[in-house]
């Protein structure tokens, strides 16, 4: 008789009964003494054309299914690389071990050693000669056919999501590959990977609201970094010339399908370069990495086909807004911009400055048109306080943003290395902060002093790893590509 083992009780007393039953048999339900010789994927690859039935292997994983046939038991064993069938025969493992096997259930983690063979229907299988219970599962796994579908539960109990959903494991394997390929690319081009502080006395490097914390021993208020930029540029001053950090940054902002308050960025800086060099670097790096991971320059994202084949399109932000909105963001006065905005039926607040209007125009009219990778360049200086101004038009900064799949994925500019101009920009930002803009920069005097020692002309580039992963894995929410996204505390 083929009996699919699914019975569980959830009460605490029964959990203790199961543990005690194992101890009565002399079994440690949390044994740590087992060493694998193979991952399951290695076995499948190595024994694809199996002819030798005497090959011994030792594998370990979680039991995902059990099927009993009298004196034989079949189980599906799963590790991070895949799943394989294991076969227990009473004649092979002995009476005592077969008695212990009756206490093994779906969800338990075991180690098995035995020989690889194929069944009469051709399924690659391990004939078990010995097994070890490594960790007892005290809860039923989600129902076999429907799996773990509730989105909130999937994020909150990511460990169950990873157990039950192979596609989720694949997403995070691809994330590992992405980060590895980015590191390899930059290492080949002479960049050094560095680490900079996550706790900072003065938050800087982006226009964002920080999280505050307090250091008891020093008795000072600190901030979780919103970006590593100002510390990385200190390293450029120090002569490191090519540096990058794959960093965790924190911004005290809303949560959405595109935003998580804690996120991962690649941020890099190269001396004797500018934003044009950063365009070339971003194009080469991302097109190569995507092709290596996906196997093609083209990927599907939310019913769109994204083509990463270089060269990528480049458009001027002032020109795009002029064509789509009818506003000249350089020459038009603020009053004229307000009037033209009103003519288009757009709502706005009286407190909006030129930069805020530009951001809104970009988001509403330009960004929705940017499907394939596109560099949008030349931003107003007001919203680019750390970027060098263009020599032929000082109202614009040598800055670009990279858009892919209608999403902003990267930001870059020629870095401002003039300490006097940087101090002036910080003062302007401070005025905005005093007027209620909590995302404006504070003045970082130490950074100004670092610039006074001389920072060479430098190009900087930031790439959002989470958003890039969304594109690669065709994920509609950023939470799908972050292992543990921030959630409101459970009320259960």
- Residue 350, pLDDT > 70, answer yes
What share of the chain has pLDDT > 70, as a percent?
96
| Total residues belonging to the chain | 492
What local confidence, expressed as pLDDT, does residue 13 receive? Answer: 84
Residue 492, pLDDT score? 64
- On the CB side of 11, CA atoms within 13 Å amount to 3
Q: Name the residue with higher pLDDT: 397 or 18.
A: 397
Residues 6+ apart with CB under 8 A from 219: none
Give the integer Cα–Cα distance in Å for 400 and 413: 6
What is the distance of C-alpha 101 from the center of its chain?
Answer: 40
- Look at residue 53 and tell me whether its pLDDT is greater than 90: no
Query: pLDDT tens for residues 264-292?
Result: 999 999 999 999 999 999 999 999 999 99
What ranges make up the beta strands (E) of 71-211? Answer: 72-79, 82-89, 109-118, 124-135, 192-193, 199-200
Mean pLDDT of 155-178: 94
Q: What pairs with residue 135 in β-bridges?
A: 109
Q: Are 483 and 466 in contact (CB under 8 A)?
A: no
Span 419-438, average pLDDT:
87
φ, ψ dihedrals at 290, nearest 5°: -60, -45
Band (pLDDT 50/70/90 cuts) for residue 9 is low
- Write out the E strands in 205-317: 212-215, 220-224, 242-250, 262-271, 298-301, 304-307, 313-316
Give me the residue label for tokens 């263009």.
390
Calculate ∠ Cα 336-341-342, nearest 5°.
100
Q: How does DSSP classify residue 141?
A: P
- Which secondary structure element, helix H or strand E, spans residue 393, and what is its range? strand 393-404
> Rounded to whole angstroms, how far apart are CA atoms 317 and 472?
26
Q: What's the average model confidence in pLDDT over 318-336?
A: 95
Tens of pLDDT, residue by residue over 125-162, are 999 999 999 999 999 898 754 556 678 888 999 999 99
Sign of CA dihedral 152, 155, 156, 161: positive
Quick one: pLDDT at residue 236? 98
Alpha-carbon torsion (273, 277, 278, 282), positive or negative: negative
Q: State yes or no: pLDDT of 51 exceeds 70.
A: no
Q: What residues have CB less than 8 Å from 366, skipping those under 6 apart?
A: 317, 320, 321, 324, 376
Q: Average pLDDT, stretch 421-450?
A: 86
Q: In a 10 Å sphere around its CB, with 0-12 CB exposed, 13-18 middle and 19+ buried, how is residue 48 labelled? A: exposed
How far, in Å, CA of 203 to CA of 320, rounded?
32
**Selection from 388, 406, 405 nearest residue 397 by Cα:** 388
Helix (H) or strand (E) holding 277: helix 275-294
Nearest in space to 425 (alpha carbons), one of 451, 401, 464 = 451
- According to DSSP, residue 228 is labeled S
- Distance, CA of 281 to CA of 286 (rounded, Å): 8
Q: Checking DSSP bridges between strand 124-135 and strand 82-89, what pairing results, if any?
A: parallel
pLDDT tens per residue across span 54-96: 789 999 999 999 998 889 999 999 999 999 999 999 999 999 9
Give the C-alpha separation, 61 to 79, whole Å.
5
Instruction: Tell me what pLDDT residue 17 has.
Output: 87
Residue 208 has pLDDT above 90, yes or no: no
> What's CA 373's distance to the chain center, in Å?
19
Strand partners, 268: 244, 461
DSSP three-state, residue 248: strand
Does residue 7 carry a pLDDT above 90? no
432 or 85: whose pLDDT is higher? Answer: 85
Q: How many C-beta neighbours within 10 Å does residue 237 have?
A: 19
Of 360-369, 414-423, 441-450, which range is least confident?
441-450
> Which pLDDT value is given to residue 145?
43
Q: How far apart are CA 187 and CA 192, in angstroms?
A: 7
Q: Where are the beta strands (DSSP E) in 136-185?
A: none
pLDDT of residue 147: 56
| pLDDT (mean) for 203-229 | 92
373-410 pLDDT, tens digit per residue, is: 999 999 999 889 999 999 999 999 999 999 999 999 99
Domains of the chain: 3-141 (2.40.50.140), 163-312+372-481 (3.30.930.10)
pLDDT number for residue 143: 73
What residues form DSSP beta bridges with 128? 114
What average pLDDT does the segment 299-325 reach?
97
- 201 and 225 in contact (C-beta within 8 Å)? no
pLDDT number for residue 48: 76
**Cα–Cα distance for residue pair 312/402, rounded to 1 Å:** 10
Mean pLDDT, rounded, of the chain: 92
* pLDDT computed for residue 1 by the predictor: 41
What three-state secondary structure class fits 48? Answer: coil
Write down the pLDDT at residue 397.
Answer: 97
Does residue 125 have a cis bond before it (omega within 30 degrees)?
no
322 CA to centre of own chain: 35
**Coil/strand/helix, residue 330:** coil
pLDDT value at 22 more than 60: yes
Nearest to 229 by CA among 384, 358, 378: 384
Contact present, 69 and 2 (Cβ < 8 Å): yes
17 burial level (CB within 10 Å; 0-12, 13-18, 19+): exposed
Q: Cα–Cα distance between 382 and 388 in angstroms, integer?
A: 12
């Amino acid at each position: 008789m083929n009996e699919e083992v699914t019975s569980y009780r959830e009460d605490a007393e029964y959990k203790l009964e199961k543990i005690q039953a194992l101890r009565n048999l002399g079994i440690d339900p949390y044994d740590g003494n087992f060493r694998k010789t193979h991952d399951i994927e290695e076995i499948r690859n190595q024994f694809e054309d199996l002819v030798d039935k005497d090959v011994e292997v030792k594998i370990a994983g979680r039991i995902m299914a059990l099927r009993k046939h009298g004196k034989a038991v079949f189980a599906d064993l799963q590790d991070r690389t895949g799943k394989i069938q294991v076969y227990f025969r009473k004649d092979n493992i002995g009476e005592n071990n077969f008695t212990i096997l009756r206490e093994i259930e779906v969800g338990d983690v075991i180690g098995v050693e035995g020989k690889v063979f194929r069944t009469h229907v051709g399924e690659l299988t391990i004939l078990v000669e010995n097994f070890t219970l490594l960790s007892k599962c005290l809860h039923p796994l989600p129902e076999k056919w429907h799996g773990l579908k509730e989105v909130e539960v999937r994020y909150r109990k990511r460990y169950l999501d990873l157990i039950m959903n192979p596609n989720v494991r694949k997403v995070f394997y691809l994330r590992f590959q992405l980060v590895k390929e980015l590191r390899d690319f930059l290492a080949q081009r002479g960049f050094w990977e560095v680490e900079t502080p996550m706790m900072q006395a003065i938050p800087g490097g982006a226009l964002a609201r920080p999280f505050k914390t307090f250091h008891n021993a020093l008795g000072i208020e600190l901030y979780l970094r919103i970006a590593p930029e100002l510390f990385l540029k200190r390293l450029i001053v120090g002569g490191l010339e090519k540096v990058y950090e794959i960093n965790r940054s924190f911004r005290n902002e809303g949560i959405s399908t595109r935003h998580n308050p804690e996120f991962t960025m690649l941020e890099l800086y190269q001396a004797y370069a500018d934003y044009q060099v950063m365009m070339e670097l971003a194009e080469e790096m991302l097109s190569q990495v995507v092709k290596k991971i996906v196997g093609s320059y083209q990927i599907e994202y939310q019913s769109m086909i994204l083509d990463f084949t270089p060269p990528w399109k480049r458009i001027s932000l002032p020109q795009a807004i002029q064509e789509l909105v009818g506003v000249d963001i350089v020459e038009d006065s603020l009053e004229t911009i307000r009037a033209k905005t009103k003519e288009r039926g757009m709502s706005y607040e009286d407190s909006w400055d030129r930069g805020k209007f530009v951001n809104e125009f970009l988001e509403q009219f330009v960004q929705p048109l940017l499907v394939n990778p596109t560099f949008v360049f030349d931003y107003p200086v007001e919203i680019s306080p750390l970027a060098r101004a263009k020599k032929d038009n000082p109202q614009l900064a040598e800055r670009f943003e990279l858009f892919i799949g209608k999403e902003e994925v990267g930001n870059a500019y020629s870095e401002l290395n003039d300490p006097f101009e940087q101090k002036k920009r910080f003062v302007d930002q401070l005025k905005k902060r005093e007027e209620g803009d909590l995302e404006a920069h504070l003045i970082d005097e130490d950074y100004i002093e670092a610039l006074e020692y001389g920072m060479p002309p430098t190009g900087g580039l930031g790439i959002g790893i989470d958003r890039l992963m969304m594109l690669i894995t065709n994920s509609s929410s950023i939470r799908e590509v972050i292992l543990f996204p921030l959630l409101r505390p459970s009320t259960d």
